[in-house]
Amino acid sequence: MGDQAYRDGSWQSGDGLTLHFRDYPGRDDRPLILCIPGLTRNVRDFEPVAEAFAGEWRIICVDLRGRGKSDYAKDAASYTPAQYVQDIAALFEQEKLERVVAVGTSLGGIVSMLWAAQTPERFAGVVLNDIGPTIEEEGLARIRDYVGQGRSFPTWMHAARALRETNLLAYPDYATQDWLRLAKRLMVVGGSGRITFDYDMRIAEPFSDPPAEPFDMWPVYAKLDDTPVLALRGELSDILSHETLARMERELPNVDAVTVPRVGHAPTLEEPEAQAAIARLLGKVA
């Protein structure tokens, strides 16, 4: 995975950060695919999407502020979905993006929904990967337990074993090479020579102190009523429940609801079921 050619690009946020993206070339007569990763993830998460669809489709994968090769925020309070939407809006402006198919994993799906609700004419389709308007508290509690801990490891094998300990319920069928591949997507060799997670540990600060009144995402989701939507759910997910997925399917007539077997939060998008579903969505907008 990850052998597709791409160029590294950057754009500027409104508050002066230099943010990073990967740009995989593809046809210019189609909407491009815009990939937005989850809370602790980065552009490498979407190597399976690029492997499957680059060439036929131009694909831009972003590092949100504080992740990967993007600058870390000066103020941790800016690590919020509203700020990420502003950052993506700046990318649209700089790169003159007209219409996109958004592929958002977890947090990236929330950002996709929020931005698509504001500018629906710019979205030819939306993939929501293991996220919906209602998020299960059990899953949020699990994420709060590990995000921002700043662990480091002497070798990639140590890193892979640590991931296995914390994520075995999500990927019960993974073998050692799968955990190593996941580790190399999530982590980098730090300045000390040890392997560390590839994000600013301060992203945990606003996430660990949620608002007393959670924002209702269902009206936002409802604004996708004229946009083809793929809602992916990991069969073992503790973030997106079966009940929420069923309600998503009921509330919008244009939703393809697909459950990816034997994975939790979140599908990696290399699963055959996930790739087939993405191909179906792309077939609607090509």
* DSSP per-residue codes, 241-269: -HHHHHHHHHH-TTEEEEEETT--S---S
The predicted-structure confidence for 1-37, as pLDDT tens digits, reads as follows 446 799 999 999 999 999 999 999 999 999 999 999 9
Percentage of the chain with pLDDT > 90?
Answer: 91
* Residue 238 and residue 136 in contact, taking contact as beta carbons nearer than 8 Å: yes
The whole-number pLDDT of residue 4 equals 76
**Residue at token pair 């907008």:** 285
The predicted-structure confidence for 77-114, as pLDDT tens digits, reads as follows 999 999 999 999 999 999 999 999 999 999 999 999 99
Task: Look at residue 147 and give its three-state secondary structure.
Answer: coil
- Does CATH place domain 7-135+205-285 in 3.40.50.1820? yes
The whole-number pLDDT of residue 208 equals 75
Lowest-confidence range among 151-165, 196-210, 225-239?
196-210
The domain spans of the chain are 7-135+205-285, 149-198
